[in-house]
Each structure stands twice: as structure tokens, then as C-alpha cells.
Amino acid sequence: MSDTRPPLTILSEEESMFREAIAAFADEEVRPRVRDMEKAGKIDPTLIPKYFELGLMGIEVPEEYGGAGGSLMMVALAVEEISKVDASAAIVCDVQNTLVNFPILKYGNDEQKQRYLTRLTSEVVGAYALSEAGSGSDAFGLATRAEKKGDGWVLDGRKLWITNGAEAEIFVIFANADPSAGYKGITAFIVERGTPGFAVGKKEDKLGIRASSTVELLLDGCELPAANVLGPVGQGYKIAIETLNEGRIGIGAQMIGVAQGALGAAIEYIQERRQFGKELAHFQAIQFQVAQAATELEAARLMVYNAARLKDAGHDIARTGAMAKLYSSQVCERVTSLCVELFGGYGYTTDYPVEKFYRDAKIGTIYEGTSNMQLQTIAKSLLR
């Protein structure tokens, strides 16, 4: 059997061991569940406790709060390895680490960190709620309102496209506390499931990442104490931007994982499938397509890893993160499409894995900032 692993990339001994452990976990625990989760349209509930047991739900969180005290690079490695098997399973720990733990760790006070991070690293799933029906790419055109009431707040509005929403117990939600101030009125709140006035609504039926829950959230007179405000009032826009910058590294890792999973399956297939008296892998046209795909994928991988390294070193990654997310999602679409073609008619059936990889690839150009928004971010940075 051929070596379908990605080219060697420099990792520390700790990172290499971590990646190997996650790869084994994905193969042993995730792979046997993929088909059933895809059909059911939800994550197997028996899988989620295994994420906590392995420490996957608090990779960057310090040990004092129950986390692993790791790095964004390790988050990227975990998401990539699981995505090679199933993107839906990967997004569970991706969102937890980059969109939920990160803002609480950076902007939460000591009480909030102790109260929420200890649970998020050990037992409960979290979700991040920014998007609305009228504010997708225009993320700061929020209609959800936060009104001061005594010492607390009341939230009213509706959030859409909330990943992990069906499983989550803790939500980071953005609302505008002062619409007259525009985006400078946006404030972040921590909301727990079960809070009066808060409800999880419709679950979306999607093209890809079907086992990952995508839901709406309903806020109808949702009363919160002042202790649930995350960061300074009116600084929600800053929190949202910084969080998405980190989140895009996770999506980039998801995309290179999906592409690698598809390419690995295709490379094995073309060495077995015979046409015109020989294996497909013997045809130069096939060889060149695979070589081109592998080269583009490695370039995307290095962009994602570089952005993660820069973030871990304390650098601003607004541009590098946008570039990594943009390019990795583009490459993933191209690679998975090619892999479907390499399988021929079989590739279009659910009997083989590449059709699922192809469907899972599309979301990468949409969520956590569409490709056009990444281009805008890159252009603004270059032309500033």
C-alpha cells in the first residue's frame, strides 16, 4: 500500500506525539461512527465524553481550569486529524476551543474563568452566537438587543447558523446594548441553557457536515445578571473579531484535513482500479493531477500551520489567518472535486467516502467569514 500521509512538516516531539494520539482516536473512535452519524444527522452522544477524556475540549486552557495548557498549533493538529475522518466530528472540538474557550479565557474575569472554563474543559459543550438573519457577512448589523434592567440585562432577538447549538450548554452571545453607537454598542454575554427566555430553535438540514448541529437561538426577554457580561460593555465587536481570527485557523485545519482524507482515499483507489489493462495510477494524466493536488494541499497546510505558529508567538494574524482560511477552503474544494472524478461513477455514490468529503468541503468557503470577506480583510490590510 502506498504512503498517503502528508509530507513531513517540522513538529516538536510533543506535537508529533499529540498528533499520533489524535490520529489513533479518530481511527478507533470516530471512524466506526461516521456512517451512522451522517444518516442520523447528529453526533453520537457517546462520542462527546471521549473528547473530554482525551483533553480535546480545552487544549489551550491552562491546567488550573482543567485544560491541557497547549497551543493553537495543537488545536489545528487535532482538528486536521479528526477532519481526515469526519469534518462534523472535528468541528465539535474546533468550536469549543477557538470560539468559546478563547474569548472566555482572554476576556473573562477570574470568576467567569473558574465558573465556565472548568465545565467547558470537563463536561459541557459550548457554542458561539454572532450571526443573524440580517447580519451574516455584515456581522455588526445585529438586531439582537441587550437592555439594561436594574443590575442586570435583558436580551431579545434571534441567532442563526449556530454550530454545536443542539449539544451546547454554554453560549457566547453577542447583542447590541446601545444601537445609537452602532457597532460600538455590541456587547458579549455568556448565556446558559435553561436560562428563562432562552431557547434553542430549528435545527438546519444541510448539504454537508450533516452530523454537526446548526440551529437557531431564540432570546425572548432573556434575563441575565451583570456577572454574565463578557468583557467590557461595548467591546463585543473587538471580542468577536479576535475570536474569529483564531477560529479561522481551526477552519483552515478542517479544510486541509478534509482534503487529505479525500486525497488519501483516491490515491489508494487509483492503485487498485484497472482500466485499459492497467491501474489508473500508471497513467501520467492521473499522476500529474494527483501531484498537483498534493502540492496545493501542502501549501495550504503550511499556511495554516504558519498562522497558528504566529498566533502562539503573540503576533496579529488578521491577514495571515484570512489568507490561510481562504486558500485552504479553495484547495479543499478543488482537491475533493478531483477525488470524486478519480473514483468515476463510484465517487458519486455514498458507498465510497469521497462524495461526503466533497459535500463537507463547501462549508469552508462560507462559515466564519465567506471567501469574499477574507479577500476584503486581506485587501484592507495590504492597502492600509
Cα(107)–Cα(230) distance, integer angstroms:
6
Cα(32)–Cα(36) distance, integer angstroms:
8
C-alpha cell at position 257: 484535513
- What secondary structure letter does DSSP report for 166? T
Non-local (6+) Cβ contacts of 292 within 8 A are none
In the chain, the amino acid numbered 232 is P
**Alpha-helical regions (H) of the chain:** 13-25, 34-40, 48-54, 72-83, 87-95, 102-107, 110-112, 118-120, 236-270, 284-312, 318-342, 354-361, 371-383
β-bridge pairing 214-224 and 198-203: antiparallel
Cα(357)–Cα(25) distance, integer angstroms:
19
| 123 assigned to active site | no
Exactly one of 132, 333, 355, 368 is catalytic; name it: 368
**Sequential DSSP letters for 259-305:** HHHHHHHHHHHHTT-EETTEEGGGSHHHHHHHHHHHHHHHHHHHHHH
CB 331 within 8 A of CB 299: yes
CB 18 within 8 A of CB 77: yes
Residues assigned a catalytic role: 368
